[in-house]
């Protein structure tokens, strides 16, 4: 099981971003959906490594968040409220979010197989740094490539040439992202199987 504990950065000097975040999360399979746990922190539970990667990169794209990913078991039956959950995955997520506040990409992974969790963190950190440096045009181009059947169709949607789309995708690191996501999913899955 994967628990994500996500804390707003510099919340005492910023507006509360939790409600906007909760209203606009990507549609991924969750065992327990995200909810505010304390102040400016949210927590959710999923059994899907793919969902973890999608959510982590979405949080990075938004900015303003430290992301802790905990891997392990949870006490069953899992309560209906995420914040009432207990178990090693919740404890690992707490340690991870505390460490994420000082991490280069504001992301940390704890629990499960320590070696694979560290490897997953490394890959997610590299992906996070790639996503964080993208321009808005780069984010738009990548988002369209994930939902459109071809680069030329995505370029037409943006009203730009295929060559301009290629340049945006290259600058955004699009071609490195898909294999990086696959590797992160694999490592998270292996870390959770330990």
Interval 56-73: pLDDT, tens: 999 999 989 999 999 999
DSSP string, 75-133: -SSPPSSGGG--SHHHHHHHHHHHHHTTSTTSEEEEESSHHHHHHHHHHHHHHHHHHHT
pLDDT, tens digit, 9 for 90 and up, residues 1-47: 999 999 998 766 777 778 899 999 999 999 999 999 888 899 999 99
What crossing angle do the helices spanning 151-158 and 162-172 adopt, rounded to 10°?
100
Provide the Cα torsion 48, 51, 57, 58; round to 10°. -150
Check residue 17 and give its pLDDT.
Answer: 78
Check residue 12 and give its pLDDT.
Answer: 67
Element (H, E) at 181: helix 174-193
Check residue 150 and give its pLDDT.
Answer: 87
DSSP β-bridge partners for residue 45: 3, 32
Select the more confidently predicted residue: 15 or 182. 182
Average pLDDT of every residue of the chain: 92
pTM for the predicted model, two decimal places: 0.90
Check residue 56 and give its pLDDT.
Answer: 97
Whether pLDDT at 53 is above 70 = yes
């Amino acid at each position: 099981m994967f628990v994500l504990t996500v804390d707003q950065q510099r919340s005492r000097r910023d507006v509360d971003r939790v409600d906007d975040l909760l209203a606009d999360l990507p549609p991924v399979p969750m065992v327990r959906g995200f909810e505010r746990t304390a102040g400016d922190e949210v927590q959710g539970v999923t059994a899907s490594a793919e969902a973890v990667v999608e959510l982590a990169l979405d949080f990075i794209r938004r900015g303003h968040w430290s992301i802790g990913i905990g891997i392990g078991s949870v006490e069953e039956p899992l309560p209906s409220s995420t914040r009432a959950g207990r178990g090693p995955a919740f404890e690992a997520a707490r340690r991870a979010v505390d460490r994420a506040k000082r991490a280069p990409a504001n992301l940390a992974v704890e629990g499960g197989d320590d070696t694979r969790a560290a490897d997953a963190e490394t890959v997610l950190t590299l992906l996070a740094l790639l996503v964080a440096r993208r321009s808005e045009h780069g984010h738009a181009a990548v988002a369209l490539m994930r939902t459109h059947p071809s680069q030329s169709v995505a370029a037409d949607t943006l009203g730009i040439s295929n060559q301009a789309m290629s340049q945006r995708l290259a600058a955004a690191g699009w071609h490195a992202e898909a294999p990086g996501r696959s590797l992160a999913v694999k490592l998270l899955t292996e870390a959770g199987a330990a």
